[in-house]
Structure 1
Amino acid sequence: MSIAEMIETLVAPPNPFRWEVFDGSATGPEDAKYTVRIHNPEGLSYIATAPGDLGFARAWMTGGLTVEGEHLAYPYGIFDSLRELYDNFRKPSLGEIAKIYRSLGHHGALRIQPVPEVERAGWLERSLRQGLSRHSKERDADVISSHYDVGNDFYELFLGEEMTYTCAYYPHPDATLDEAQDNKFRLVYEKLRLEEGKTLLDVGCGWGGMVRYAARRGVRALGVTLSKEQADYGQQRLIDEGLDDVAEIRYADYRDTEESGFDAVSSIGLAEHIGVDNYPSYFRFLSDKLVPGGLMLNHCITYPDNHQTQRGGFIDRYIFPDGELAGSGIIVRDMQSNGFEVLHEENLRFDYARTLRHWCLNLKDNWDKAVELVGENTAKLWGMYMAGSQWGFEHDVVQLHHVLGVKLLDDKSRGDVPERRWWRDSTWELED
């Protein structure tokens, strides 16, 4: 059985891809939008022994598989074809499975290939060698560095003026990325009822966009991040803007924050990194940092249901090691059980799709520079990850939720926090 015949056995027509394989076989329409080429037995072995996105990623990273038909920086359209492929996948009979396995063995595709070097380098190698447990402080520091310390100059190519690596909030569909990110910070600022003289703790602060936004308005703000490159960059921008007397960006684990008595806490894109089992201690810790009547906003990616927690193999190995997601119901439950009355919750998944589209197009416009800075493999990974994430938000594979909570006073009142919603949804309602 040729490899093309195996594919025909597993995928009912119409096959959305053209497949061309090293054994000389081919299948799928010649005029397909995308051509998948499997170049060698090693590439096929990665696919056969690690089915799903991880196996394809390993084959792709090692040159055993290529896909032609769209720019590597923005391979968005391929995800519609992948969904079509999955929808047309048919369960083979036992006899067909036996033939497929014999043929895979004949082509040398059942041999376990070495894990690609890019997967073994850095954080994973150290964690395994040192026996670091998942979400320990040491391992979290390694995995955060593995993603965010790729290089500030690389992220500057696509993130926008404020270097903000989280979902923006678009005042209208045609807003620029910078307008939408500013509007996101405005929304968080208003939800937290911040104003001059109040205090803010921003955990997982990234390059400091929220800290700068608040500090420019007279809020005393502390941001913490596990990425040294982010912390150095963010602190320097505070100095450059003359804000370092009211704000600080600190290279630290949020769990090592000793200060307390904050009026507000923002967590924008951190919960994805802490582990679902750690949600109770995470929310309890943040509640303890607030004054009674203080507000906390949790902004994070979630699943559309409350049953999944693990992310895909590709994302875990190549993009966000140790990342975990849960449904928004789990976020709400664990906030309610650990120091907060939940006041408001909303889903901004379409805003994240727009944000990712802007990032992808910026990367595409700066592709040659990106390859120069980080190499083609890393640039390809980020392009695939961001385009796939855009598709995922558009198709409700993932969502983005804001959950706003208040730390009640001893008498179970909210202090001066209003009963009704007090923030505005659009910058169009704000005066210049």
Structure 2
Amino acid sequence: MGSVLSDLKGIDKLFYKTMLKDLFSDTCTVKFWDGEEVIYGEGDSKFKLILHEPIPKADIIADPSLAFGEAYMHQKLEVEGDIQKIIESLYHNLDSFLGKNNMSTKVAKKISNNIKKSKKNIQHHYDIGNEFYKLWLDDTMTYSCGYFESDDDTLTQAQKNKVNHILKKLNLKEGQTLLDIGCGWGELIISAARNHKVKAMGITLSSEQLSAVKKKIENAGLDDLLEVKLMDYRELKDRKFDRIVSVGMIEHVGKDRLHEYFSNINNLLNAGGLSLLHCITGIRNNEGGTNSWIDKYIFPGGYIPNYRELIGHMAKEEFYLLDVESLRRHYGRTLENWAKNFEQALPLIQKSKDEVFIRMWRLYLNACAASFNCGKLDIHQFLFSKNINNEIPWCRNYLYQS
């Protein structure tokens, strides 16, 4: 029996040596389970991979993202070096085995996210606990891409910049009504009410976020202008709004529900009203996708749409597309900040989370940073109107005036 296992590991090792030969764009060292170390590339090694045991070849071929992600989570695979840089080195080598199989996104299997399933999926990620997110998010508790106006901007400033940038695009007027679909911890609706005197409503599927937002509204003394509810956007009936915003929410909708999202926006928006959609977008030619490891462990039921899909749905609802902006590099920097904060908060995180959870989140934050930095993923803001809106300033200068 021992001889058979030894032979099988020998076959696995040969497969690994062949695969690793041209896997990364940088020189690296690989230490195998039997202690052998091999340097791949020329010059100084930039990082080291340690394989404590073989990962089944069939698993790697079938789904490299899931196979390597689980191996890292369960300490079958160890790394010495910067995880983000290691993944970027992998992405930069487009001719490698994994580069051709694209570890960042796959075409998504059809998953129908009805209201019940959507609530369950959101709670899986966002109801981990407000205290956990407080440890590594910024002071505003904003869990989406920041907007860095200068290299000196802190993460908190970048998040305030982002909210301000969105509210300027919406061209808000005092007394207007605003709906925030997926309001998170409430920074956007609170800023809208405080700075633009609009009546804003936030909706979320996270009970943890709901309680936190209610407390923030009360502390800000903005109860007369703000309301927040625990509900799915599809449950909102008999209401109309002058402005609708959604930041980082449509990624949870699912491919077969995108039409439903834009149809509901059409029903909820007043004629001449504006809507801003801020979301991650895929870079595949014609369709979006998902990452199987992230789908299983981080965002179940998620789907990253291609920008062509989104614009197509806007056209079907006869919306007028007014502005499109990519913030890809901004999200890379945001994620780098989160990953750094996560490591700094590790002693506190370890008090309530086990090693598998910690390694899972470490990989998630660093892999996402690498994906945006290398152009495997993008993020866009789309501004569109229902019917004609002739009140928007003629030029974009107003977006950049303090």
**Alpha-carbon shift at residue 335 of structure 1 (Å):** 1.0
Q: 1:422 to 1:21 in 2, by over 3 A?
A: closer
Counterpart selection for 2:163 from 180, 185, 198: 185
Match of 1:160 in 2: 138
Instruction: Measure the CA separation in 2 of the matches of 1:86 and 1:190.
Output: 39
Q: 1:337 to 1:34 in 2, by over 3 A?
A: same
| Contact 2:283 2:376 survives alignment (8 Å) | yes
| 5+ residue gaps, structure 2 | 1-9, 100-110
Match of 2:70 in 1: 58
SS of the equivalent of 2:136 reads: coil
SS of the equivalent of 1:154 reads: helix
| Corresponding position: 1:17 with 2:35 | no
Amino acid at match of 2:398: R
Match of 1:353 in 2: 332
Amino acid at match of 2:68: F
| Corresponding position: 1:4 with 2:13 | yes
SS of the equivalent of 1:170 reads: coil
Match of 1:96 in 2: none
| 5+ residue gaps, structure 1 | 92-132
Instruction: Measure the CA separation in 1 of the matches of 2:238 and 2:152.
Output: 41
| Corresponding position: 1:284 with 2:295 | no
SS of the equivalent of 1:373 reads: coil
**Alpha-carbon shift at residue 143 of structure 1 (Å):** 0.9
| Contact 1:4 1:26 survives alignment (8 Å) | no
**Alpha-carbon shift at residue 326 of structure 1 (Å):** 2.0
Counterpart selection for 1:77 from 74, 81, 85: 85
Instruction: Measure the CA separation in 1 of the matches of 2:169 and 2:338.
Output: 26
Instruction: Measure the CA separation in 1 of the matches of 2:392 and 2:70.
Output: 52
SS of the equivalent of 1:399 reads: strand
For residues 214-233 of structure 1, the aligned pairs below 5 Å read 214-217=192-195, 218-233=197-212
**Alpha-carbon shift at residue 224 of structure 1 (Å):** 0.6
Larger displacement relative to structure 2 (312-321 or 293-302): 312-321
Q: 1:298 to 1:306 in 2, by over 3 A?
A: farther
Amino acid at match of 1:32: S
Q: 1:89 to 1:294 in 2, by over 3 A?
A: closer
Match of 1:338 in 2: 317
Larger displacement relative to structure 2 (141-150 or 251-260): 251-260
Instruction: Measure the CA separation in 2 of the matches of 1:393 and 1:142.
Output: 27
**Alpha-carbon shift at residue 21 of structure 1 (Å):** 2.7
Q: 1:12 to 1:59 in 2, by over 3 A?
A: closer
Amino acid at match of 2:243: A
SS of the equivalent of 1:76 reads: helix
| Contact 2:29 2:45 survives alignment (8 Å) | yes
Instruction: Measure the CA separation in 1 of the matches of 2:211 and 2:175.
Output: 25
Match of 2:123 in 1: 145
Q: 1:240 to 1:14 in 2, by over 3 A?
A: closer
Q: Deviations over 1:223-278 (max 9, x none)?
A: 11111101111111111111122111211111111242211000111111101222
For residues 232-271 of structure 1, the aligned pairs below 5 Å read 232-271=211-250
Match of 2:49 in 1: 36
**Alpha-carbon shift at residue 329 of structure 1 (Å):** 2.0
Match of 1:320 in 2: 299
Q: 1:84 to 1:214 in 2, by over 3 A?
A: closer
TM-score (norm 2): 0.86
Larger displacement relative to structure 2 (342-351 or 5-14): 5-14
SS of the equivalent of 1:372 reads: coil
Instruction: Measure the CA separation in 2 of the matches of 1:310 and 1:173.
Output: 32
**Alpha-carbon shift at residue 330 of structure 1 (Å):** 1.7
Match of 2:352 in 1: 373
**Alpha-carbon shift at residue 323 of structure 1 (Å):** 0.9
Instruction: Measure the CA separation in 2 of the matches of 1:419 and 1:81.
Output: 44
For residues 290-301 of structure 1, the aligned pairs below 5 Å read 290-301=269-280
SS of the equivalent of 1:293 reads: strand
For residues 402-417 of structure 1, the aligned pairs below 5 Å read 402-408=381-387, 413-414=388-389, 416-417=390-391
Counterpart selection for 1:201 from 179, 184, 200: 179
**Alpha-carbon shift at residue 134 of structure 1 (Å):** 2.8
| Contact 1:211 1:222 survives alignment (8 Å) | yes
Could you tell me the percent identity over the aligned residues? 32
**Alpha-carbon shift at residue 352 of structure 1 (Å):** 1.1
SS of the equivalent of 1:87 reads: coil
TM-score (norm 1): 0.81
| Contact 1:345 1:401 survives alignment (8 Å) | yes
Equivalent residues, number:
378
